[in-house]
Amino acid sequence: MRRPAACLFDLDGLLLDTEPLHSAAWQQATRQFGLDLSLDQLLALRGRRRLDCAEQVRLWIADAGLPVPSTPELLAIRQPIAEQLLPSAQPITGAFGLVAACQLQSIPMAMVTSSSRAAVALKEAPHPWLSAIAVRVHGDDPLLGAGKPAPDPYLLAADRLGVQAEQCWAFEDSVAGAQSALAAGCLVHVLLPSGMDHAPEPLKALATACNMIRRLSEVTKVLAANVSIEAF
């Protein structure tokens, strides 16, 4: 397998370690309405657009027999918490090196995120190295149809780069994101949670369809050596 025509990167949990912060914001918000989210529920929110997450949380609140807030009411609680937490997010280990390797290899890049343009600006402000990824698909992109897990975000990113999605490598950490990239036809690398050697339960169903990696540096070495993915 030849090197990718482009590399398409998720942001949250893949380039920046924001997922624990997002989870904390959702947990604190839903507790205001009487619901404690389980670990499985928090994992199910990863990789999805804010409004999609809010609708899912509202369903869980309803299933618990609790008074259901409107989406604006829920987000009015959640968003200030998230905005306070997210600027403190640190880079995922190896993220800078992977982006730099793509630059050195002249491999086109795009960011494919469920976060809104404003949210990305907030999170990336302390990380100027992310500006190397100039092509973006945001969760509130006016040309985006459905969000992850639909294939639309990755198809739109490939189109903006002028390449076929089937020739791209996608990098994800969530079930919804991996499903989105797979549906678009990308070769998908899934970053396992820190310290894990095997896919956790939510990702197990995708283990045969995706390349599970423990560290981003595994792919960086492949790109730097310009060898096939089968080499690792």
Q: What are phi and psi of 169, to 5 degrees?
A: -100, 130
**pLDDT band for position 224 (50/70/90)?**
confident
| pLDDT 10s digits, 67-120 | 999 999 999 999 999 999 999 999 999 999 999 999 999 999 999 999 999 999
Residue 135 lies in a domain: yes
Neighbours of 11 (CB within 10 A): 27
Residue 1 lies in a domain: no
Q: What is the CATH number of the domain that holds 183?
A: 3.40.50.1000
According to DSSP, residue 18 is labeled -
| 78 and 135 inside one domain | no
Predicted confidence (pLDDT) at residue 58 exceeds the cutoff of 60: yes
Distances 106 to 48, 167, 176 between C-alpha atoms, Å = 30, 15, 29
Residue 115 lies in a domain: yes
Catalytic residues: 10, 12
63: exposed, middle or buried (Cβ count in 10 Å: 0-12, 13-18, 19+): exposed
The per-residue pLDDT for 230 is: 42
Please choose, from the candidates 151, 146, 170, the residue with its C-alpha nearest in 3D space to the C-alpha of residue 4.
170
| 133 and 222 inside one domain | yes
**Which residues have CB under 8 Å from 201's CB, separation 6+?**
none
| 108 and 31 inside one domain | no
Enclosing domain of residue 60: 19-87
Residue 66 lies in a domain: yes
User: Of 87, 108, 126, which marks where a domain is finished?
Assistant: 87
- Which of 9-13, 19-23, 141-145 has the weakest average pLDDT? 19-23
CA end-to-end distance (rounded Å), the chain: 12
DSSP letters along 137-190, please?
A: E-TT-TT--S-TTSSHHHHHHHHHHTS-GGGEEEEE-SHHHHHHHHHHT-EEEE
The per-residue pLDDT for 68 is: 96
Q: What is the CATH number of the domain that holds 28?
A: 1.10.150
